[in-house]
Structure 1
Amino acid sequence: MHKVRVGVIGCGSIAQKRHLPEYRENVHTEIAGVVDLVQSRADDMASLYQTKSYTDYKELLLDEEVDAISVCLPNYLHASVTIDALNAGKHVLCEKPMATSREEAEAMILTAADNNKTLMIAHNQRFVSSHQKAKKILDSGELGKVYSFKTTFGHSGPENWSIDGRDSWFFNKQEAFIGALGDLGVHKSDLIRYLLGEVDQVGAFIDTSAKTDTKVDDNAICMLKMKSGVIGSLAASWSYTGGSDNSTIIYAENGVLLIENDPEYPLIVNYSNGETVKYQLKKIQSNEAGGQSTTHVIDHFIESLVLNKEPLINGGEGMKSLQVILGALESNEKGAFITL
């Protein structure tokens, strides 16, 4: 089989730190082209990865030798560009959050089905070693009934890692649609669904308290009730100025799971009988030094294409994780709990 020829649309930080280097490392992949509205940025990446550069993504989509596309664009463009790529006969890996509305997400899923193409959403938390191990422990039933949880993703904000800094689209309400909740919170809604099943109800307080001159949220606290009846909290923030937090704690009958909560051990289980088990696992990926080197998202996407199998996070999964966030926005607006 020939190598999967991939085009990357958008050459910002996520493409430069994740998609492009991880495609280059994948033996089944060839980078067939890069697109960015900023010509010099596209040219720089094309030169670095020895490929073609474009400023108009539609030109790249005309290339019949391109098999798949990574959509690494501001949130408001995810749906339209993904749909164009699928209609051009390309498989698509789209960055999260997959869309800015349920309608957009449904249109993306429908277009993928109509064209018989793969649509995957780039949620990486399911591939983290500690999260996979935690799921095995939970699924085994050894911890008994799950009582509650808290899951958090916070750092000091995208101005510190986005290619355009404080001028980034992340702070532009029209382009971003949502702030910390869409950037970080949707990772955690995907993770908690992976670990504990579907979310039934959501209530939220969402605020802009840390960043000035922007209308996007930078702090969100959500209360979730799972279909199983388990209740817990989800926090997303761009105001953690003294470092980042990417932890999840699950409280159960026979013990407590501490996930990504300790600098040395990615997973610790404190059993109610007094026993403690500490797992030495691969570190979670982060944009800071010493983080995990790969997200596994690219490898999983390519593997699903090579083996012609459905990816773990398809459009339907991406939409369910998005709906938790959309529900949180609605809850904050109405001052009421929202049933999903």
Structure 2
Amino acid sequence: MTTLKIAVIGCGSIAKHRHMPEYDALETTKIVAVCDIVEERAQVFGELYDAKVYTDYKELLEDPTIDAVSVCTPNYLHAPISILALEKGKHVLCEKPMATSKKEAEAMIAAAENSGKKLMIAHNQRFVRSHEKARQMIASGELGKVYSFRSAFGHGGPEGWSADGADSWFFKKEQAFIGAMGDLGVHKTDLLRYVLGEEFVEVGAFVETSSKEGDVDDTAVCVLKTESGVIGTLAASWSYVSKEDNSTIIYGEKGILRLEDDPTHSLIAQYRNGEVVKYELGGIQTNDDGGQRSSGVIHHFVNSILTDTPPLITGEEGYKSLQVVLSALESSETKQIVKIS
């Protein structure tokens, strides 16, 4: 059996709760190196996984035996680390948002093409069973023509999740570049593109800093339009102080789909004729579950390497989802509807 040698760059909460445990659970991967600028933090995981400890990612990437890396750093480092890793012949799984600009995203895609290695962006919402089921129902025509949607992703903020709490890089513009829209909104732009099966062409947005001490957005609401004319709203927020909201509702000609809107039934289909079908497909992964549910991301990434098949969320896919977010920011700044090229 082939065993891939994995390095994890950035040892914060997403690495601790998602990437490392999920690699460790697979028989086909071995974490051989970890890296963090806080040496003590890296040391903890080095001991836990019997991995070599680094504080400089450039030094780590010089190791020719490493097959693949997870990039779990602050957003501004996603592109430079991913590009160098690809140039050094490593497959790359990069956290979202993939980059802080179109130029960076394009450079990442080019690096993947030139290296012949896989580049996957860690958008886990595509692997949620209710979302997969909804995509199938829409594609099959079961819902008829889709008219509109509303989707939200909000919780109390990264200070309850990040390894650095209220002092987290998430609140620092020079490191994060973008706040709730980059942390949560980009997940939903990716999900909606996937479930609806088409691209967004226009966005109007209000992006505000209203609940946190920091210089990035924490509350955003967008109105989006697809190429076929489906319109809807996307809300992303760090100001939902009680239960996390990760719901999506899709309104169609023959019925309504409620995704992750009910604590028991992860998908509820309400049909025009009065019929209601409730599905228990397993819940969505949340920050509160302590990583108890697998995201599906690591398994898919590893499988794409071992089978030499393109990952579901390639660099190009990550770029399209990022473009929606960048256009939303532009809309908020200019107070204009922005066309998404």
Query: What is the TM-score of this pair, normalised by structure 2?
Result: 0.98
Q: Secondary structure, in 3 states, of the residue corresponding to 2:283?
A: coil
1:315-335 CA-partner distances (Å, limit 9, x unpaired): 000000000000000000111
Match of 1:257 in 2: 257
Match of 1:44 in 2: 44
Which runs of structure 2 are paired with 1:74-153 in the superposition (5 Å)? 74-153=74-153
Q: Distance in 2 between matches of 1:290 and 1:255?
A: 35
1:69-90 CA-partner distances (Å, limit 9, x unpaired): 1000000000001011011111
Match of 2:203 in 1: 202
Match of 1:296 in 2: 296
Q: Distance in 2 between matches of 1:221 and 1:29?
A: 40
CA-CA distance at 1:336 after TM superposition: 0.4
Q: Secondary structure, in 3 states, of the residue corresponding to 2:34?
A: strand
CA-CA distance at 1:290 after TM superposition: 7.7
CA-CA distance at 1:91 after TM superposition: 0.6
CA-CA distance at 1:176 after TM superposition: 0.3
Match of 1:24 in 2: 24
Q: Secondary structure, in 3 states, of the residue corresponding to 1:293?
A: coil
Q: Secondary structure, in 3 states, of the residue corresponding to 2:287?
A: coil
Which runs of structure 2 are paired with 1:1-340 in the superposition (5 Å)? 1-196=1-196, 197-212=198-213, 214-289=214-289, 293-340=293-340
Contact 2:6–2:29, Cα closer than 8 Å, also in 1? yes
Q: Specify the code of the residue in structure 1 equivalent to 2:272.
A: S
Contact 1:71–1:82, Cα closer than 8 Å, also in 2? yes
CA-CA distance at 1:226 after TM superposition: 0.5
Q: Secondary structure, in 3 states, of the residue corresponding to 1:234?
A: strand
Aligned residues: 339
Q: Distance in 1 between matches of 2:12 and 2:292?
A: 20
Contact 1:223–1:233, Cα closer than 8 Å, also in 2? yes
1:22-73 CA-partner distances (Å, limit 9, x unpaired): 0000111011100000111111000011111111111111111100010000
State the identity as a percent.
60
Q: Distance in 2 between matches of 1:109 and 1:61?
A: 19
Q: Distance in 2 between matches of 1:260 and 1:162?
A: 24
Contact 1:283–1:291, Cα closer than 8 Å, also in 2? no
Contact 2:331–2:337, Cα closer than 8 Å, also in 1? yes
Contact 2:18–2:291, Cα closer than 8 Å, also in 1? no
Unaligned runs of 5+ in 2: none
CA-CA distance at 1:292 after TM superposition: 5.4
CA-CA distance at 1:231 after TM superposition: 0.4
Q: Distance in 1 between matches of 2:57 and 2:243?
A: 36
Contact 2:129–2:281, Cα closer than 8 Å, also in 1? yes
Query: What is the TM-score of this pair, normalised by structure 1?
Result: 0.98
CA-CA distance at 1:282 after TM superposition: 1.4
Q: Distance in 2 between matches of 1:76 and 1:328?
A: 19
Contact 1:282–1:292, Cα closer than 8 Å, also in 2? no
Q: Secondary structure, in 3 states, of the residue corresponding to 2:273?
A: coil
Q: Specify the code of the residue in structure 1 equivalent to 2:207.
A: I
Q: Secondary structure, in 3 states, of the residue corresponding to 2:2?
A: coil
Contact 1:283–1:292, Cα closer than 8 Å, also in 2? no
CA-CA distance at 1:291 after TM superposition: 6.8
Cα gap change, 1:227/1:296 in structure 2, threshold over 3 Å: closer, same or farther?
A: same
Unaligned runs of 5+ in 1: none
CA-CA distance at 1:289 after TM superposition: 2.8
Contact 1:151–1:233, Cα closer than 8 Å, also in 2? yes
Q: Secondary structure, in 3 states, of the residue corresponding to 2:326?
A: helix
Q: Distance in 2 between matches of 1:23 and 1:137?
A: 32
TM-align CA RMSD: 0.9
Contact 2:17–2:291, Cα closer than 8 Å, also in 1? no
Contact 1:284–1:292, Cα closer than 8 Å, also in 2? no
Contact 1:108–1:315, Cα closer than 8 Å, also in 2? yes
Q: Secondary structure, in 3 states, of the residue corresponding to 1:288?
A: helix
Moved over 3 A (4+): none
Contact 1:284–1:291, Cα closer than 8 Å, also in 2? no
Q: Distance in 2 between matches of 1:97 and 1:62?
A: 25
